[in-house]
Amino acid sequence: MHTIFHRAHNSFANGLAKIKPDWDDKMLYQNERKILIGVWQNIVFGEYLPLIIGQPAIENYKIDVTDTYNEKTDATTTNEGGIAFRFGHSTVSRLIALQDEDYSLSMPPETFKDHYFLTKLYHIFDGRGREDVFRWTVDSACQKMDRGRDHGFPGYNAYRRYCGHDPARDFSTMRGGLVNMDSDVASLLQKVYR
């Protein structure tokens, strides 16, 4: 997404420069920025968020996806909120498919883990293979946990208390354990945190 928006920024700025030749670089940048922010907000609030949290939550929290700006609204987020929203990385497929410049498949989809360190893929198409790397992702759960530690986040039970739950003392789904969690998920956590 970063690459796509970077390129869109340049494209919009070039287009504005053609229709507003009297604008200086700062004026072009600020106006292009407004356009790109509008595009981003439309994607997030109009398409992505309704898919992630569902229409009932949109209605329950009164999220107006048609006119969301209110200058009196405090738009700050907690440190945890910014990190937690990175969950989107886990929604990306673990399969990759190398694509040519026209985004046509040049190989059948395969697991990313089998290709991550194959640097020859980065140099195909006359050295433009790295462009395809931008379309790939890795499971970055460890990076997220490290990022939380770097930011000084408290442990799991602190968040349980914050949400009004008793702290968990074990991995059962009975009283004193992970009572608000699916038993299969609790079992997986117990295997990871022996």
pLDDT in tens, the chain (194 residues): 788 888 999 999 999 999 999 999 999 999 999 999 888 888 888 888 888 888 888 888 887 766 666 778 777 777 776 666 667 666 766 776 666 667 677 667 777 666 655 555 555 555 555 454 544 444 455 666 677 777 788 888 888 888 888 888 888 888 888 877 788 888 888 888 76
Both 104 and 168 in one domain: the answer is no
Residue 91's nearest CA partner among 48, 142, 41, 147 is 48
pLDDT of residue 117: 57
Residues in Cβ contact with 84 at an 8 Å cutoff, skipping those fewer than 6 apart: none
Give residue 125's pLDDT. Answer: 53
The one-letter code for the residue type at 167 is: P
CA dihedral 62, 64, 69, 72 (to 10 degrees): -20
Could you tell me the residue range of the domain that residue 184 belongs to?
Answer: 160-192
d(CA 179, CA 73): 35
Task: Count CB atoms within 10 A of the CB of residue 186.
Answer: 19
The pLDDT value recorded for residue 19 is: 96
* Beta-carbon contacts of residue 148 (< 8 Å; ≥ 6 apart): 83
Same domain, 149 and 164: no
Q: Are residues 67 and 116 in the same domain?
A: no
Dist. CA 185–CA 159, nearest whole Å: 17
End residue of a domain, out of 48, 77, 106: 77
Number of domains in the chain: 3
Check residue 99 and report its DSSP letter. Answer: B
Question: Are 73 and 12 within one domain?
Answer: yes
Give the model's pLDDT for residue 98: 65
Please check whether residues 52 and 95 belong to one and the same domain.
Answer: no
Phi-psi region of 51 (alpha: psi -120 to 50; beta: other; left: phi over 0): alpha
Residue 134 is predicted with a pLDDT of 47
In a domain, 66, yes or no: yes
Is 89 known as a binding-site position?
A: yes
The residue type at 113: K
Residue 96 is classified by DSSP as E
- Alpha-carbon torsion (74, 75, 77, 81), positive or negative: positive
**Are residues 129 and 183 both part of a single domain?**
no
Residues 9 and 53 placed together within one structural domain of the fold? yes
Are 149 and 123 in the same domain?
A: yes
| pLDDT of the residue at 65 | 67
Predicted pLDDT at 111: 73
From 50, 77, 104, the end of a domain falls on 77
